[in-house]
Structure 1
């Protein structure tokens, strides 16, 4: 706003006369201030003057010192504003004065827009998204402090400012309005900034972005020496995710559809939503930027990557979005993921993996921006992905900590982690009012709900089951009890059907081998899926025998494997079978003692026999126990 002439200090002998930018509106004119004006019309009772292209008024003949023609210049002061908005001025003729140019609006930052609703502003920024709606064109513009939607109007559905493209540095002017719980700038002009000015702005913006992307330095929830080497890797991921949000790039999150995968993905999703809310003035920004999707298979399937690519390309075409970053959680570390990753490479889509399955770094690392896995640091699957991702989420949004204290224990129990730190995680959950049985029930409820959600992320239902960002503890407890009871009932029914059909033999290494044809002796297309059915059978036999046990649940073209007390290396066995049986279509992997394998139907007996031979040669280890639940193979 223009300062009043009465604001001048007594020591100032010369008044200031303001020269308004032609685009200045009514809000730039105040009583008591002097303005340069131009005559735009002469009538019998005075002259009409412009103080800007947007603001005009009448100077009555009684308030004029001389006669004027169109185009003449004079100095005026606002006299009155009528109810209909018409302005009247009086002429002023100071003996001497100082002229001050008034820019169109105040130079502002996104952070300050909340205090400037109703005002006209200037904003410098870079365009991170362009969305053509049925009405205005929405430019998402980022400066050093945040991102704001800027609505530019043409004819309905017509692209405004077609010369402005993604990543352009722009200088825009417009009016700040409240919209959907945030603010929006209604654009009056946008100009592309080029040359040295643009380069200097990009340098400032890059420096601000690097600062804003820095993860929070949080103390780990528990002291755990084995976890420390992973912290720096997780900080790198947190930095990259925050930077991705600031750059306006969407994040597409894929996670294994089981308890640990949910305990990994939901906290990260909530943390990113909070960071988006801090950064973006658009209340719908998180909905457009973040998408969490479960994956049934224990690797990134071509079916999934094809869906993801199609979705991303459509969003780029229809909504002006950048292509996304892919975040793989509790999945994505193996050679089986490579074909899907190579497909994404055609579009330069960055990929980040946080996983605890046995990895194949030589196969995947050249295709990844970041790869966090305990095996890389000489640890193993006992550090679950959920444990890692709770710390990752806290690095992004530390105010989530109180909601997440129980989640690592749920993840550990869901994946049967026997890590030394489990006692500390259980104690931490105990402080939040959860005992071991309740935490197990949460994991079972998550598995049960996810099974029926299939490709849907579950949204608020899943957060209520996990009791993260849930506003009703009683509802959470009732929901978990209901789902866990249903899970237990259905698992028991499956066991009752399956147990009479188990094949048993004693291997040469003295381990018990149990085999179950889950295609013919378990209910299909219902809960539990073959993987969980095999796991339930295995647990029964481990408890019954108290000795080393291997369990194979097989179908026409797949087998799921569980082992306790036998030193298996399932990824290595899969690789050997692939080389020894060409044409069998062998693929698979997982953890060392828990995993899955696929093959062509015609080679089933040959592959299963070869698999059993390898298992019979494995060493026994009474202290080695499987620590994770199986993937849900359909």
Structure 2
């Protein structure tokens, strides 16, 4: 056993020729220790044969009583000299009695692990560096979700049951975690023995490393388009920016709240994006329940973000932040969100850190909407129109987010186009793409009808598994899909026939000054209420039959006490513009609404219904006839 060198000896001296005493960081291990050096120590135990001392949280040893010239108590601090490191890892110390010395701090030389490479089969201590993206207090440990360059992993720290561990560490902190890897619910979890908040240069270095990895990993994938459509290519850069933002949001651990119109096109838009985001979450988060917490899909009955919906969404988000330590979400609006009617809801969210992204094909109010949103994708903003449906755009968006989806969505754009009556010439390409996957055009129509039927009964529920089975996306039983679609589409057809049997005798007809056929129906008095089909669907079915029957330019109005639903073929209407004109022309009418140029809805106060409808018809009678806008109505048995 070696003895301590004299203060004047060269061993263990610093630049001033004074003896060096090393002050180890708490996380230092045996690998950071060298024999025949001085260390700052703390007494952790007193026994008959000496004292035990700690020189870090993980490194301890004995000072034998033969080396002691004074009495020590637990917690006393002293300088010790490491005389020996035995083969079994035991350390022997003597007391270092130094009149003068220089203290040198020693940091642990970490081997930082990647979160995506952790395995519970290893018993070694691991170290992670990353950002805290969520803190959840359970009845037992505190669960910190830590994001490094490779993945997000849960790290459990225990103070005592239900008590917040490391209360000074908050979401957004850059930390170093030390612990062992365990398995919980068949997933990786780090049992943390220590979590340190990094600061200054260490924090800056880790932050820079995370930022570089985040920028690289969040980049959307370049994909080959499903069909050749030059008009669609104008939208591709916008969609790529949205895909990059959504991938980044997932990697940052921020939840995504997806709102979509509760119709066929809205579901053809939202379901593929939901599937892509969930798979990306599964790829980048070690917690198997992460997708359930980070993504919510919520249908909206109205074609805009209603104040009732935004208040509910905001309240739940604030509760999730308080109860589960989540960040406030990103709001993703699909087949919805482009109009002036959405502004009050967006202004409500503007008081909080909730970014908004819109992918829509309704006629937009960009000057009003764009200052309030992060991204806004809409074909009208590229001199295109609603023939490019949101479902078509979102299938490409989903493939950019998670290209591994590949051929699972090839039939969805055709369903979206048929349900939203797209008149694009490129519909034939989408239908051919679906036929190559085994879907006839009849099958696609029936899927759209089944979606519309089930959406009516689901109301505010997303009906996740049921909708997936109908659309045959992430569905493991093709036979069940076909039988379910056959049943639901036949029920939809039956209920539509029942409704039209009651309605058609009461449809009023006139020929306008521009030679367009106008059909009107009082839905309040002549249609079954509170059942399928809803007023919009009823009006649409009447309209399609009249277009097929006449083969000429047709406008159809279905109205109730305080609303009207509009459809037009072969007449160049501009329903959003008409709404604006009615707002100023019909004083006290309380007019609002919008939609596409030739499909939309208008609300008004009950007592002004006749004035609003008369003014609306006058505008329709002055509209230009345009044969190119006429639908090709496809019938099926």
Same fold (TM over 0.5): yes
Is there any run of 5+ residues in structure 1 with no aligned partner, and where? 1-18, 80-87, 93-100, 630-634
After superposition, give the CA deviation of every residue in 1:155-201 in whole Å (9 maximum; x if it has no partner): 22211111111111111211211122321111211121122322232
After superposition, give the CA deviation of every residue in 1:447-476 in whole Å (9 maximum; x if it has no partner): 111111111111111111111111111111
After superposition, give the CA deviation of every residue in 1:397-447 in whole Å (9 maximum; x if it has no partner): 011121111111111111111212111111111111001000111111111
Q: Which residue of 2 aligns with 1:443?
A: 448
Q: Which residue of 2 aligns with 1:156?
A: 161
Shift of the 313–549 alpha-carbon distance from structure 1 to 2, 3 Å rule, reads: same
Q: Which residue of 2 aligns with 1:353?
A: 358
Q: Which residue of 2 aligns with 1:370?
A: 375
CA distance in 1 between counterparts of 2:118 and 2:91 reads 34
CA distance in 2 between counterparts of 1:430 and 1:527 reads 30
Give, in angstroms, the shift of residue 104 of structure 1. 8.7
Match of 1:297, SS state, is: coil
Give, in angstroms, the shift of residue 211 of structure 1. 0.5
Among candidates 543, 560, 567, match of residue 565 of structure 2: 560
| Superposition pairs of residues 56-67 of structure 1, within 5 angstroms | none
| Superposition pairs of residues 126-141 of structure 1, within 5 angstroms | 126-141=131-146
| Superposition pairs of residues 156-195 of structure 1, within 5 angstroms | 156-195=161-200
Match of 1:623, SS state, is: helix
CA distance in 1 between counterparts of 2:162 and 2:120 reads 31
Among candidates 203, 206, 224, match of residue 229 of structure 2: 224
| Superposition pairs of residues 49-88 of structure 1, within 5 angstroms | 73-77=82-86
| Preserved contact between residue 120 and residue 182 of structure 2 (Cα < 8 Å) | no
Shift of the 385–556 alpha-carbon distance from structure 1 to 2, 3 Å rule, reads: same
CA distance in 1 between counterparts of 2:149 and 2:402 reads 19
- 2:474 is the alignment partner of 1:465: no
Match of 2:552, SS state, is: coil
Match of 2:234, SS state, is: helix
Shift of the 348–627 alpha-carbon distance from structure 1 to 2, 3 Å rule, reads: farther
| Preserved contact between residue 573 and residue 614 of structure 1 (Cα < 8 Å) | yes
Q: Which residue of 2 aligns with 1:213?
A: 218
Shift of the 628–212 alpha-carbon distance from structure 1 to 2, 3 Å rule, reads: farther
Between stretches 191-200 and 304-313, larger displacement belongs to: 191-200
CA distance in 2 between counterparts of 1:162 and 1:283 reads 26
Q: Which residue of 2 aligns with 1:301?
A: 306
Among candidates 394, 397, 407, match of residue 392 of structure 1: 397
CA distance in 1 between counterparts of 2:201 and 2:54 reads 35
| Preserved contact between residue 305 and residue 345 of structure 2 (Cα < 8 Å) | yes
| Superposition pairs of residues 65-144 of structure 1, within 5 angstroms | 73-77=82-86, 103=108, 106-114=111-119, 117-144=122-149
Q: Which residue of 2 aligns with 1:255?
A: 260
After superposition, give the CA deviation of every residue in 1:215-236 in whole Å (9 maximum; x if it has no partner): 0111011111111110000000
Give, in angstroms, the shift of residue 606 of structure 1. 0.6
Shift of the 228–53 alpha-carbon distance from structure 1 to 2, 3 Å rule, reads: closer
Q: Which residue of 2 aligns with 1:419?
A: 424
CA distance in 2 between counterparts of 1:161 and 1:58 reads 31
Q: TM-score, normalised by structure 2?
A: 0.86
Shift of the 534–293 alpha-carbon distance from structure 1 to 2, 3 Å rule, reads: same
Q: Which residue of 1 aligns with 2:574?
A: 569
| Preserved contact between residue 110 and residue 143 of structure 1 (Cα < 8 Å) | yes
Q: Which residue of 2 aligns with 1:433?
A: 438
Match of 2:408, SS state, is: helix
Shift of the 117–468 alpha-carbon distance from structure 1 to 2, 3 Å rule, reads: farther
Match of 1:469, SS state, is: coil
Give, in angstroms, the shift of residue 115 of structure 1. 6.9
CA distance in 1 between counterparts of 2:573 and 2:343 reads 24
Shift of the 428–91 alpha-carbon distance from structure 1 to 2, 3 Å rule, reads: same
Give, in angstroms, the shift of residue 124 of structure 1. 1.1
CA distance in 1 between counterparts of 2:203 and 2:66 reads 48
Q: Which residue of 2 aligns with 1:614?
A: 619
Give, in angstroms, the shift of residue 106 of structure 1. 4.2
Match of 1:352, SS state, is: strand
- 2:238 is the alignment partner of 1:233: yes
| Preserved contact between residue 120 and residue 181 of structure 2 (Cα < 8 Å) | no
Give, in angstroms, the shift of residue 49 of structure 1. 9.0
Q: Which residue of 2 aligns with 1:7?
A: none
| Preserved contact between residue 117 and residue 178 of structure 1 (Cα < 8 Å) | no
CA distance in 2 between counterparts of 1:185 and 1:628 reads 60
- 2:332 is the alignment partner of 1:327: yes
Shift of the 41–134 alpha-carbon distance from structure 1 to 2, 3 Å rule, reads: closer
CA distance in 2 between counterparts of 1:440 and 1:357 reads 22
Give, in angstroms, the shift of residue 118 of structure 1. 3.1
Give, in angstroms, the shift of residue 315 of structure 1. 1.0
Give, in angstroms, the shift of residue 138 of structure 1. 1.3
What count of residue pairs does the alignment treat as equivalent?
A: 584
